[in-house]
Amino acid sequence: MNRRQYVLAGMAAGKEAAIFQPVQIQKLFFLLDREIPKHTGGPHFNFSAYDYGPFDSAVYDEVEALAREGLAMVDKSGFYRVYSLTHEGLAQGKAALGELTPQGREYAVKAADWVRAVTFNQLVSAIYDRFPDMKANSVFRQ
User: Residue 9 sits in a domain of what CATH number?
Assistant: 1.10.10
Q: How many CA within 13 A on the CB side of residue 95?
A: 8
| 96 phi/psi in degrees, rounded to 5 | -65, -40
Q: Let me know how long the chain is.
A: 142
- Cβ distance 20 to 113 under 8 Å? no
Whole-prediction pTM: 0.95
- Asked whether residue 54 is domain-assigned, the answer is yes
- Asked whether residue 141 is domain-assigned, the answer is no
- Asked whether residue 60 is domain-assigned, the answer is yes
The pLDDT, as a whole number, for residue 142 is 61
Neighbouring C-beta atoms of residue 18, cutoff 10 Å: 18
Q: How far apart are CA 98 and CA 72, in angstroms?
A: 19
- Asked whether residue 139 is domain-assigned, the answer is no
Query: Taking the chain (142 residues) in consecutive chunks of 10 residues, what is each chunk's mean pLDDT?
Result: 96 95 97 96 95 94 98 93 97 97 97 97 94 86 65
80 burial type by CB count under 10 A (0-12 exposed, 13-18 middle, 19+ buried):
exposed
- Asked whether residue 84 is domain-assigned, the answer is yes
